[in-house]
Amino acid sequence: MELHETTAVGLRDLLAAGEVSAREVAGHYLGRIEGLNPLLGAFVTVTADTALEDAARADEALIAARRADRPPAPLHGMPLAWKDLWEVAGVRTTYGTAALEHVRADADHPLVARVHADGALSLGKTQVPEFGLNCYSENRIAAPARNPLDPRLSPGGSSGGSAAAVAAGMLPFAPGNDGGGSVRIPAAACGLVGLKPGLGTVPTDLGNGVRDAWGAPRLVVSGPLARDATDAALLMDSLVGGTGGAYLAAARAASPAGGRPLCIGVSLRSPFETRYDLALEPAARAALDAGVALLEAAGHRVEDAAVRYDNRYASAFQTIWTAGLADAAIPAAGEPRLTRITREFRDRALRRPPADKLAAAAILRRIAEDCRAQWGRYDAVLTPALAQTPREIGYYTSHGADDDYRLQCQYTPFTSVVNVAGVPAIVLPTHTTPEGLSMGVQLIGRRGSEAGLLALAAQLGGA
């Protein structure tokens, strides 16, 4: 078996046992990147020299740990990469935009530092949409990220480059972040498991508090992308820190709620349905039906969930989702280099009265409470992961801002409301189309149920 065919947990074990060296592993994955990235555009920056130097130091550290009778670091020698929205010391950060100067970071972002402290090695930075705004990974600074299942198609976004890298075997797993579906959407598009934790589960996500400047729930959280639930759990343990391997143990046990049957509510409702025409494609329906069948085969009770959403959601979410663009320090010379959707939404955000943003934030807070109450009647709520199969490169960007945004909502109508509610959700593949594309389901849990969702995903075959 090639190294990239090994699970992340299996690779971790090989490295910890000294059966392969960190330098050998880094070299193998760098070779994969060199061969595949020209086609897939997953990486914006590859830090090969630094990665090999860090790998050599990791090999020395393992020898020293053995001599001192100490265990190796939890992610000793494990290669990964960071979305080009996170700062990595000594590496340029582009934020996916041509409107800003690309400056080398002086220090690691706190989450980067947390995972590197566990022994992980960075191979570079992965492709994102401009400022991580969209559900595709195309911008004006580098080639678009492409879906390894069909390179004509998008791998989703905003963690699309990372998902493409994992799905293509350029990385064993990858951290992502998710403010409206940015881990779950590319996981679903590329046939991966993607976990969006609840707000505050990953401590570094709380650096700016639990609410934004307007009082809306903080949307963006960090979570793992991996080929199965146990690999996702291994990375989740590192993202959180200090868990003692609890997430990995839960996934390996694959016994949610101690083995009792769960009550799962199924919903096809979306808070965007009052604004846009939404339709579930046959492949999305087949994935949902397969998810129901897997849950029932595992002994869980599945029933229709009578979920309803406030019809003000679509307007309030768009207001808050784009509000931060008004605060971006973009020089006048850089404005023309913004993508069309960013430029138009930024202009609207700059002109929008503060009272409108405060009102939208208040609406989202009420919606968050309502969603938690409705979903909380079940152990988990099942929805489609996506409403449509992945779209071709350029499908969204060939339109103006409003149509671009509408098409994104029609593709991903089930994800953003989970961020507003601040609860965890996991996506896993359940169906493969005749064309070889992957489609999946989303399971929304209660606050604090990340370990249970990983166990459930593993039980359903995501392990």
Q: CA 325 to CA 133: how far, in whole Å? A: 10
196 counts as catalytic = no
Q: Which of 453, 180, 454 is nearest to 318 (CA)?
A: 180
CA distances from 19 to 211, 213, 268 (A): 46, 50, 48
Q: Which of 139, 144, 175 is nearest to 340 (CA)?
A: 139
Do residues 266 and 302 make contact, with C-beta atoms less than 8 angstroms apart?
A: yes
Q: CA 220 to CA 99: how far, in whole Å? A: 23
158 counts as catalytic = yes
Active-site pick, 137, 159, 182, 267: 182
Phi and psi (nearest 5°) for 40? -100, -20
Do residues 88 and 109 make contact, with C-beta atoms less than 8 angstroms apart?
A: yes
Beta strands in 77-146 (DSSP E): 79-83, 92-93, 103-104, 121-126
182 counts as catalytic = yes
Q: Which of 301, 281, 288, 335 is nearest to 430 (CA)?
A: 288
DSSP strand pairing (121-126 vs 43-46): antiparallel
CA angle 365, 157, 77 (to 5 degrees): 105
Sheet holding 173-178, edge to edge: 173-178, 221-226, 193-196, 425-432, 438-445, 380-384, 263-266, 301-304
DSSP-derived letter for residue 271 is: T
Give the dihedral sign, CA 350/354/358/363: negative
Could you give the 3-state DSSP secondary structure of residue 46?
strand
Active-site pick, 122, 137, 154, 158: 158
Active-site pick, 83, 125, 196, 357: 83
The residues assigned a catalytic role are 83, 158, 182
